[in-house]
């Protein structure tokens, strides 16, 4: 029988460490629900000690998820581990994930600890964690650049203390597939009690080899857990992409001879949701989830596909959840049809008032746009979820621009309890609108990125705008959607300001000392 590979998703923790990808509690819960539908084995919901906001988000995910193990990251110290355990209280199945760096460079420069001190700290922390949970993961941060003798001693010791999963990260994406696979294999051979824990791989994508390295860790090294994120989201060049791992294991089962429990038909919905919430657009040529992943432009390919799909396709688009953009609803659709479509998309709306509010948004959009697609509904629900308790809220916009003239824009929005309006000029209508908002909000934030993406095809599509702002060492992304891209831009800017305004979102960096 084929071995099972555990899929550990860290979109909500390591993925969130991408600049600007920080998510609110509600956004994390929405993504966690989708990860549960995807049937991931473990959901790493965050890093409880990093901020009050993240603690609350992990607690909410722990309460919402029933079928996956919910996990929190913690530095290897009693305070962080207690915080992780407290955040996971409501979880049906919980995992505490403690990490400590073991490479010479990290120990000397970052931790300022001797190898013996690191060994003792690792043992102490796992002993402590074992009193709070049964399922304990230990990660040797920068494990791949660690000395194998020392790392073997640490791993043996933490397994003795009760660690049930041992994760060997390639924190900086330095590994190559064969070398990484051999490293994991050598470690497993050296550690006398290696069979008492599940071995896990966690690879970053700095050299574009994260997926290949993870698969080698499994195939050559004998690891049985892969840590990954939707769309490969993550710090710098990102993490191992879940969708590529899952489809590699499935498509090349002849070679890997391994199975995982993922429901692949939920991959594309998960990819779209993460992209919409974080504002990280998926590149068109991205494997499995890119818009072009199953598109055939060349005549020779099209001809081949028509004769026999397998001439140029190794996977089927429908197997990973691509549905040809179907028109789901329109102006005449009623509340029940809308509610049913939400259910089919796996979106739960608990309160009747929230459903009514979302339906009103749907009707307003259907007045502007004849055809409403699944992506539009997801965007409506993102907007509805965002509105609760937000400080800034878009109301309306009017703008005037004529060729050769400097455009003017007037934006009305809610700021706290007050409705405010402001007018400004700019280089273009978008610039004028953001200037008008800034005139009143006076955030002083630096704009790092502005991007527009059509969420479906054609000029009928809603524009999805991402604005990335930086202020006081924090970087946030705001996302806004609207058939009018100038309004979408104003919404995105206000959404980014809301994130800057929320102090509970200010996070401690996961790479800090224990």
Task: Output 169 or 514, the one with its CB closest to ligand KIV.
Answer: 169
Min. distance of Cβ 4 from ligand KIV in angstroms?
22
Q: According to the binding rule CB under 6 A, does residue 510 interact with ligand KIV?
A: yes
Size of residue set near ligand KIV by CB under 6 A? 9
Q: How far is CA 134 from CA 126, 164, 295, 300, 311, in A?
A: 11, 8, 47, 57, 49
Output the CA–CA distances (angstroms, integers) from residue 470 to 12, 166, 400, 497, in the order listed.
Answer: 21, 36, 29, 10
Closest distance between ligand KIV and the C-beta of residue 299, in Å?
Answer: 45
For position 169 contacting ligand KIV by CB under 6 A, the verdict is yes
Q: According to the binding rule CB under 6 A, does residue 145 interact with ligand KIV? A: no
The 3-state secondary structure of 345-401, one letter per residue: CCCCCCCHHHHHHHHHHHHHHHHHCCCECHHHHHHHHHHHHHHCCCCEEEEEEEEEC
Query: 174 vs 450, which CB is nearer to ligand KIV?
Result: 174
Site for ligand KIV, residues 174 to 203, rule: CB under 6 A: 202
Q: Among 14, 16, 244, 374, which residue sits at the site for Zn ion (rule: CB under 5 A)?
A: 14
- Asked if 487 and 469 touch (Cβ cutoff 8 Å), the reply is no
Q: What are phi and psi of 256, to 5 degrees?
A: -80, -30
Q: Please state, in angstroms and rounded to a whole number, the distance separating the CA atoms of residues 49 and 73.
A: 8
| Contacted by 510, from ligand KIV, Zn ion, none: CB < 5 to 8 Å by type | ligand KIV
Shortest distance, position 354 Cβ to ligand KIV, whole Å: 35
Query: How many angstroms separate the CA atoms of 14 and 154, rounded?
Result: 23
**139 is a site residue for ligand KIV (CB under 6 A):** yes
Query: In the complex with ligand KIV, which residue's Cβ is closer, 241 or 347?
Result: 241
User: Does 141 help bind Zn ion (rule: CB under 5 A)?
Assistant: no
Name the minimum Å distance from CB 169 to Zn ion: 6
Structure tokens at 513: 């000392």
CB of 214 to Zn ion, least distance (A): 12
Does the footprint of ligand KIV cover residue 8 (CB under 6 A)? no
**Minimum distance from CB of 2 to ligand KIV (Å)?**
27
Residues 6+ apart with CB under 8 A from 297: none
Give the total of residues touching Zn ion (CB under 5 A): 1
Q: How near is the Cβ of 144 to Zn ion at its closest, in Å?
A: 12
Residue among 8, 55, 99, 138 that touches ligand KIV (CB under 6 A): 99
CA distances from 106 to 83, 110, 111, 140, 195 (A): 24, 5, 6, 11, 28
Stretch that binds Zn ion, among 7-15, 27-35, 333-341, 345-353 (CB under 5 A): 7-15
Query: CB under 5 A: which stretch of 14-22, 113-121, 306-314, 324-332 binds Zn ion?
Result: 14-22
Among 14, 375, 431, 438, binds ligand KIV (CB under 6 A): 14
Please say which residue, 144 or 322, places its beta carbon nearer to Zn ion.
Answer: 144
Name the closest residue to Zn ion (Cβ): 14
The answer to whether the CB of 133 falls within 8 A of the CB of 168 is: no
Q: Which residues pair with 98 in a beta bridge?
A: 74, 138
Shortest Cβ distance from residue 193 to ligand KIV (Å)? 21
- For ligand KIV, give the closer residue by CB, 94 or 202: 202
**Of residues 278 and 453, the one with the C-beta less far from ligand KIV:** 278
SS3 59: helix
When the beta carbons of 100 and 385 are compared against ligand KIV, the nearer one is 100
Number of CB atoms found within 10 A of residue 287's CB: 15
Q: In whole angstroms, what is the distance from residue 171 CA to residue 194 CA?
A: 22
Q: What is the 3-state secondary structure (H, E, C) of 165-180?
A: EEEEEECCCCCCHHHH
User: 295 CB contacts (<8 Å, ≥6 apart)?
Assistant: none
Of 242 and 430, the one with the shorter C-beta distance to ligand KIV is 242
For residue 181, the partner it binds in ligand KIV, Zn ion, none, with Cβ less than 5 to 8 A by kind, is none
Q: How far is the CB of 202 from ligand KIV (least distance, A)?
A: 5
Nearer to ligand KIV, 28 or 204 (CB): 204
> Among residues 141, 374, 438, 482, which is the contact residue for ligand KIV, using CB under 6 A?
141
Task: Give CA–CA dist 66/125, Å, rounded.
Answer: 28
For ligand KIV, the closer of residues 47 and 338 by Cβ is 47
Buried b / exposed e along 119-140 (16+ C-beta atoms within 10 A) = bebbbebbbbbbebbebbbbbb
- State in angstroms the smallest separation of the CB of 166 from ligand KIV: 11
Residue holding tokens 């705008």? Answer: 465
Instruction: Give the one entry of ligand KIV, Zn ion, none that residue 141 binds, where binding means its C-beta sits below a cut-off of 5 to 8 angstroms depending on kind.
Output: ligand KIV
Comparing CA positions, the residue from 116, 223, 125, 122 lying closest to residue 170 is 223
Three-class DSSP category at 191:
coil
Q: CB under 8 Å to 305, separation ≥6 — which residues?
A: 296, 311, 312, 313
Rounded CA separation 39/7 (Å)? 9
Task: Pick between residue 44 and residue 243 the one whose CB is nearest to ligand KIV.
Answer: 44
> Footprint of Zn ion on residues 383-402 (CB under 5 A)?
none
Contact residues toward ligand KIV (CB under 6 A) are 14, 99, 139, 141, 169, 171, 202, 204, 510
Contact residues toward Zn ion (CB under 5 A) are 14
């Amino acid at each position: 029988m084929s071995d099972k590979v555990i899929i550990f998703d860290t979109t909500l923790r390591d993925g969130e460490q991408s600049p600007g990808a920080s998510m609110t509690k509600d956004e994390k819960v929405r993504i966690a629900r989708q990860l549960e539908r995807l049937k991931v084995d473990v959901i790493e919901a965050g890093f409880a000690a990093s901020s009050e906001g993240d603690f609350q988000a992990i607690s909410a995910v722990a309460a919402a998820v029933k079928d996956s193990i919910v996990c929190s990251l913690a530095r290897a110290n009693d305070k962080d581990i207690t915080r992780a355990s407290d955040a996971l209280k409501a979880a049906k199945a919980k995992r505490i994930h403690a990490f400590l760096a073991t490479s010479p460079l990290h120990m000397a420069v970052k931790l300022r600890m001797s190898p013996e001190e690191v060994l003792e700290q690792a043992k102490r922390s796992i002993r402590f964690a074992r009193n709070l949970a049964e399922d304990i993961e230990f990660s040797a941060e920068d494990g791949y650049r660690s000395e194998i003798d020392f790392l073997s001693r640490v791993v043996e010791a933490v397994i003795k203390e009760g660690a049930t999963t041992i994760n060997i990260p390639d924190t900086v994406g330095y590994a190559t597939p064969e070398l990484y696979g051999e490293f994991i294999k050598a470690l497993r051979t050296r550690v006398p009690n290696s069979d008492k824990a599940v071995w896990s791989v966690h690879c970053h994508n700095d050299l574009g080899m994260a997926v290949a390295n993870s698969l080698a860790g499994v195939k050559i090294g004998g690891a049985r857990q892969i840590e990954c994120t939707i769309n490969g989201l993550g710090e710098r060049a990102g993490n191992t992409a879940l969708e590529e791992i899952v489809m590699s294991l499935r498509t090349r089962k002849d070679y890997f001879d391994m199975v995982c429990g993922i429901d692949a038909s939920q991959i594309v919905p998960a990819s779209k949701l993460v992209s919409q919430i974080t504002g990280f657009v998926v590149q068109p040529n991205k494997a499995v989830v890119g818009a072009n992943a199953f598109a055939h432009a060349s005549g020779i390919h099209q001809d081949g596909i028509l004769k026999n799909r397998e001439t140029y396709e190794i996977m089927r688009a429908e197997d990973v959840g691509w549905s040809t953009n179907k028109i789901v609803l329109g102006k005449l659709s009623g509340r029940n049809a809308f509610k049913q479509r939400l259910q089919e998309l796996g979106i739960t709306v608990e309160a009747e008032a929230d459903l009514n509010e979302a339906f009103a948004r749907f009707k307003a959009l259907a007045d502007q746009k004849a055809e409403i697609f699944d992506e539009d509904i997801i965007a409506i629900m993102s907007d509805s979820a965002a509105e609760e308790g937000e400080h800034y809220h878009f109301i309306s916009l009017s703008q005037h621009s004529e060729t050769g003239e400097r455009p003017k824009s007037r934006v009305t929005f809610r700021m706290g309890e007050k409705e405010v309006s402001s007018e400004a000029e700019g280089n273009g209508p978008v610039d004028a609108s953001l200037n008008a908002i800034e005139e009143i909000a006076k955030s002083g934030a630096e704009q790092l990125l502005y991007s527009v993406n059509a969420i479906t095809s054609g000029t009928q599509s809603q524009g999805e705008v991402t604005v990335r702002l930086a202020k006081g060492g924090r970087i946030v992304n705001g996302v806004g959607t609207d058939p009018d891209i100038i309004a979408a831009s104003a919404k995105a800017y206000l959404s980014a300001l809301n994130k800057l305004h929320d102090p509970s979102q200010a996070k401690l960096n996961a790479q800090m000392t224990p």
